Structure 1
């Protein structure tokens, strides 16, 4: 082998040795290859760890926000209430015979998702074709907030409106099921039933009473149901209620009065069979009656009841034992006290017996009876009759009576004939019932109540003998006095009128009256009390704007139509044995 050849072989061996084997006897390229693999594996693990950490953090934040939202009221985190609360039922309200007075009907409400609205102007233009009274400016403002995901546009649509809007095909517009309160009788019993707000919550009347019994609390914590609830039955007789309201509405129209009202009350149970106040409102659309109609003048309005108060003054005088029904009092001259003159409207200018004082409605005679009774005992009796304290009943709308802060003799005298104390007409009827039912004061109720249940809570306020004497005076006044215009042949109506001058700017106005009539029938064995009032009449019968020609005819019209419905049989003849009568 030549030198050159050996050099080439040695060089080749040296190159192979240095490039293929390392000092440990292995291939020289294995170490960098293994390091590369370890490096890539470590990087992959780090990236997976970062991803896991990132997702954990993200879902942690989401979970935290969900917990936060879960701890808040739904109204705070969403404009849409949960479906079970939107569809929560209210119980039906029925009259005593099972007739429906209030019920729930299914409806829908219109909402928008502004973030999905393509063209707000076009959407509003289309909606206005179905909803012409749509608030264009307000709606545009709602739809223009692209970050918003919800906005109410109209609550409680009719099925026809829903169908028409669906046909428009507007993106981002939807409907949410709800329930709406419906009153089949409209305004017939508005002040008794009350009404609900847009969220089906009771605002007034028996609707509010039902919520106050726990329904509102259940709704507030989401424990309501869309299943029908047990109906609530009232003491109201829808037939009688319709008659009472009809008479009251006609009185406002025919007598050109500011207002009117009436109630029919069972004197043995305290049940209200019918009650109306005018002006009134339609609970299906209560906003229309906001100006005058919302005021329930029967229980939430106080008035000086005029000469109807002579009933209570006479009762306390007789019950105290200081006055006998056979006593007489000098009514020949006016009473002058403290710069005031007390006179009689139907002055007889002579001595009058107690029945004559009642029949002629003598202010002078009544004042002299009360003078014997005394101011302290008078105040005690009026409190006992419930005329100076707030009446207790289911209706939330009950006003506190007003009386002088300090009673003086002049106050005692004027209060005896119905001036100086203002009470509600309903509590006046309740007190009147106590004077003809044997002397028991029974709180009024709008729920069914038996006679035994009423007796358990009744309070004796006068002796039975006093009640008998008041019943006799009622009958006398119905036959010979100012109550004649309330009489209905066969039903023997007795009662007492009251004509009070209205107070205007702190002074009594001679041309504005508040007229009332309290009656009981059939007077020989009373079952019901009827009280009517007419506020500021201007066109009474025969041109007279006093109670005998306004409030008394109202009583007549109510009893004439309602007595047969209430099961009262007419009696004719002196002993009631005649079955037929010729007209």
Structure 2
């Protein structure tokens, strides 16, 4: 009995052990499954996160978060020769939206239009409904606009700090300094030149840091620049012209001290900068420069050695060549000396001067002095001169007095500087240039004696009876020069009553430091009965510029050569 009880108890214990072990095996399996499932969930979560990161990493930034470094790239300040700021960066704010976060596009557009009255409602609505990650709504807001939009409390709307170019001088230096686009990239003038010198590469690489950018100093004197623009604006109104311009050039170094052309534009609001009539006529326009070209014709004849100051030219009768007849405007009907050809601005005498040199020599001289090739300078807006494809004798004769060849006014001034400074030709520059650097990069293109003779003739044209430069004189500053009254081509023919006038001057004539050139396009007579020639309108522009600017340029007046009557009238 005892043995049977022991056997039943042992069997019962074994059965209980089997049940316990089975329970353990069952529980252990479920636990393992849960661990595996938990790990799978975590792996799935991390895989999803990783996948989204990869997805966002491959997205185009323009379609997601918008451009960052490109729109905030810094530019160096531009200053005049005395350190006055002409262009600088200022902070501004631009409005963007994240369409995915926009709750109600209709409400957002309606509220934004109360602040931004010029907002394109339809275009903005489509942007907000696009479902993209980032869209620009309005660039370069005013601080007041930014504050008003912030008060609207619109979700999905934000601002980015950008840099905008500000031009303290406004219109005064617009054609020289130029413009940047909405992304602060230079697109014209010296702004574009600066980009082309490596700034664009610095911006692209993110290295254009404001604190590291040194100001770009120009050769321009803002004080003189203001005078030049003021005078041409007044002249344009006074003579009812369609345009006017002027340049002041350092004859010893080729530095442009001032240059302006009107109509111009406001670089802080350049909505009309691309209008055709706002072209920079001084460097980007080509014109027949009329009798100012006679300066180069006379210099060419003298420099050839075939004529001298005592040479004479028969101007008794017009010259007929082919279907062309060359006449003088106010002919003397006699033989003229070389100085008389110049001060009476004889077309016939100039034609005979060119004939002495010959066709090939004539073209070679104009190329040597830089009037036929595209000018090299920092300003990008430079036009290419025009000339006959094949030079014939008739071309040489008409070009001798300024018809049949077109060049830029700035090039004409540069060439005149070589006539005045001893025969050295400089490429014009809008950057400071030392005398040593200028001399090192100059070309001696004329005999110094030719330059001395031309200084004498310029002075004679302003002081001798009958000279056309009298209205350009300024007491004490010894101004000399040459007029240019060119008939413009209308409907394929020269029109006697539509003119492009110019006056080319230098001062002081005993040792010219500066060349001043003025132009005025289609001027009308100041008063009924008066002529509209260059001596009546272009010459006074030069006189006013020199009278106001010469003291700022450091040119001392000298009244020792003035007569008593002139001194009294000046006082």
TM range (shorter): over 0.9
Q: Does 1:249 align with 2:233?
A: yes
* Normalised TM-score (structure 1): 0.91
Which residue pairs with 2:77 in the alignment?
92
Which residue pairs with 1:211 in the alignment?
195
Q: Does 1:557 align with 2:544?
A: yes
Q: Does 1:133 align with 2:123?
A: no
Which residue pairs with 1:110 in the alignment?
95
* Long gaps (5+) in structure 2: none
The CA deviation string for residues 461-495 of structure 1, in whole angstroms up to 9 with x for no partner, is 11010000011110111113111111111111111
- The equivalences for 1:383-462 within 5 A come to 383-462=367-446
SS in 2 for 1:249: helix
Shift of 1:553: 1.1
Mapped contact 1:572–1:578 kept (Cα < 8 A): no
Report the CA distance shift for 1:519/1:383 in structure 2 as closer, same or farther (over 3 A): same
Which residue pairs with 1:39 in the alignment?
29
Mapped contact 2:63–2:135 kept (Cα < 8 A): no
Structure 1 stretch displaced more, 559-568 or 500-509: 500-509
Which residue pairs with 2:248 in the alignment?
264
Mapped contact 1:87–1:226 kept (Cα < 8 A): no
Provide the C-alpha distance between the structure 2 equivalents of 1:364 and 1:234, rounded to a whole number of angstroms. Answer: 43
Q: Does 1:347 align with 2:331?
A: yes
Mapped contact 1:91–1:232 kept (Cα < 8 A): yes
Which residue pairs with 1:54 in the alignment?
44
- The equivalences for 1:330-345 within 5 A come to 330-345=314-329
Shift of 1:67: 5.5
Which residue pairs with 1:528 in the alignment?
514
Shift of 1:243: 0.4
Q: Does 1:21 align with 2:14?
A: yes
Mapped contact 1:477–1:484 kept (Cα < 8 A): yes
Report the CA distance shift for 1:119/1:401 in structure 2 as closer, same or farther (over 3 A): same
* Normalised TM-score (structure 2): 0.93
Provide the C-alpha distance between the structure 2 equivalents of 1:494 and 1:60, rounded to a whole number of angstroms. Answer: 80
Q: Does 1:175 align with 2:159?
A: yes
Shift of 1:412: 0.9
In the comparison of the two structures, how many residue pairs are matched? 567
SS in 2 for 1:289: coil
SS in 2 for 1:109: strand
Mapped contact 1:305–1:500 kept (Cα < 8 A): yes
The CA deviation string for residues 234-283 of structure 1, in whole angstroms up to 9 with x for no partner, is 11111100000011111221211121110000100111111000110011
Mapped contact 1:403–1:422 kept (Cα < 8 A): yes
SS in 1 for 2:211: coil
Shift of 1:144: 2.3
Provide the C-alpha distance between the structure 2 equivalents of 1:259 and 1:499, rounded to a whole number of angstroms. Answer: 15
- Given candidates 465, 475, 482, the residue that maps to 1:496 is 482
- The equivalences for 1:168-247 within 5 A come to 168-227=152-211, 229-247=213-231
* Long gaps (5+) in structure 1: none
Report the CA distance shift for 1:404/1:223 in structure 2 as closer, same or farther (over 3 A): same
The CA deviation string for residues 11-44 of structure 1, in whole angstroms up to 9 with x for no partner, is x99987776537xxx8332553344245324424
Give me the CA root mean square deviation.
Answer: 2.5
Which residue pairs with 1:360 in the alignment?
344
Rg comparison, structure with higher value = 1
SS in 1 for 2:266: coil
